[in-house]
A = this chain, B = another copy of it.
Amino acid sequence: MKNKLSIKQIADLSGVSSATVSRVINHNGRFSEKTRQKVLKVIQDNHYQINIVAKSLRTQKSYTVGILVPDITNSFFAQLVQKIESYLFEKGYSSIICNTARSAVKESEYLKILTSKMVDGLILISGAKTLKNQAISTNIPVIYIDRQPASSKSIFISSDHYKGAVLATQHLLKEVERICFIAQGSHSSSAAERLKGFEDTVAKAVDIDSRVLDLLDYRQGEKLERERITSFVNREFAFLRPSQRLGIFANNDGLAINVLAAVHNLGLKIPEQVAIIGFDDSPMARLSYPQLTTVRQDIDLLAATACDKLLLVIKGKKLANEDAVTKLPVELILRATA
């Protein structure tokens, strides 16, 4: 309808200077109650909206943070990003969510744009192990989630993936005679931790054979992936005698569901012949049949912790060294597949 008014026009309409209008808007400095009322009325009447771009330029703060995420389509990331965004929004910040598609090039392009837009902070989720800090050489506060930062004094947050893997593996070991870990490329620090938790736990067990399948390339075609999983499970199962069970720990729920389907197709019984545990407790874990046993990450806590720390650093607080690394507790959710 009407075009946007500037603070100057509000000032004229109110019969004061724009300095005064700015002061009442920002509750900053002194002004009489009378002027305040007057100005506020004019603002209301005209639906005045401050221009954040101008404000940002002047104050050198954008009230915006950038979030880099590998794949918003993955339900764990989607939930995490959604929580972060809504949490930040409550605190008066808006988020620019950038989908890097796991491409280093896109990542650094985004980083450039983001700094160009004067973001006040950055949240980097997962992705390649280390990143050329060149792009974020300017001293923007950064929080790393599930991604090992180059510098040890960066702030790093993640679930305790190692512990989660240990829990899952221990549970399987109680029930099966042979055990496998399935991953799809252990590029991320979280995947590496989970693998380590699996291996360490298996190493302590006696009388059990184990095997790791790494699907490597992230996307090598769904059908091919499914076939590889199926033949892998088939081969592994063949090692067992009748009445023995195979245990499979999948690096995430998506993979676990894939395994589920493969096992169904092989005509094997879950969990009587093959026991399966996933990771993340994503929504589909509850929707699969049978329902998936999995390791739950506390996404709310993860998001809140990341935002709180970021906001602190943005506000100029120096974090103590012991706050640089946070490992959040995980929980094994027992359902029907193991």
Residues of A within 8 A of B (CB): 1-4, 47, 49-54, 56-57, 62, 64, 71-73, 75, 78-79, 81-82, 85-86, 89, 94-99, 101, 106, 110, 112-113, 115-118, 134, 137-138, 222, 254, 257-258, 260-261, 264, 283-284, 286-289, 291
Given A73-B78, A79-B73, A95-B96, A118–B289 Cβ distance below 8 Å?
A: no
A169 to chain B, nearest CB (A): 24
Nearest CB in chain B: distance from A5 CB, A:
10
Contact check, B85 vs A222: say whether CB atoms are below 8 A apart.
no
Q: Are A2 and B113 in contact (CB under 8 A)?
A: no
B86 touches A99 (CB 8 A): yes
Chain B residues lying within 8 Å of A1, measured Cβ to Cβ, are 137-138
Task: Give bound CA distance, A52 to B56, whole Å.
Answer: 11
Contact A116 B51 (CB under 8 A): yes
10 interchain pairs, CB-CB under 8 A:
A4-B115, A49-B115, A53-B117, A54-B57, A72-B81, A94-B96, A254-B287, A257-B284, A257-B287, A284-B284
Hey, which chain B residues are within 8 Å of A96, CB to CB? Answer: 94-97
A264 → chain B closest CB, angstroms: 5
Give, as a whole number of angstroms, the nearest-CB distance from A142 to chain B.
14
A21 CB to closest chain B CB, in angstroms?
16
| Chain B residues near A101 (CB-CB < 8 A) | 86
- Docked complex Cα distance between A134 and B96 (Å): 24
Nearest CB in chain B: distance from A122 CB, A: 14
Contacts of A54 in B (CB 8 A): 57
CB neighbours (8 Å) of A57 from chain B are: 51, 53-54, 57
Q: Which residues of the other chain, B, contact A118 by a CB distance below 8 angstroms? A: 51-53
- In-complex Cβ contact of A287 among B62, B98, B115, B261 (8 A): B261
Known: A52-B113, A284-B287, A289-B261. A85 touches B73 (CB 8 A): no
Instruction: Check if A94 sits within 8 Å of B73, measured CB to CB.
Output: no
CB–CB B113/A85 < 8 A: no
Determine the distance from Cα of A257 to Cα of B73 in the docked complex, in whole angstroms: 18
A320 CB to closest chain B CB (Å) equals: 24
A94 touches B78 (CB 8 A): no
Residues of B within 8 A of A72 (CB): 72, 78, 81-82
**A151 vs B287: C-alpha distance in the bound complex, in angstroms?**
40
Give the contacting residue for A82; candidates B99, B110, B284; CB below 8 A: B99
Contact check, A3 vs B99: say whether CB atoms are below 8 A apart: no
> Contacts A1-B137, A49-B116, A118-B51 given: A286-B222 contact, CB under 8 Å?
yes
- A99 neighbours in B (Cβ, 8 Å): 82, 85-86
- Bound complex: CA A113 to CA B56 (Å): 13
Contacts of A222 in B (CB 8 A): 286
**With A52-B116, A116-B51, A137-B1 in contact, do A85 and B97 touch (Cβ < 8 Å)?**
yes
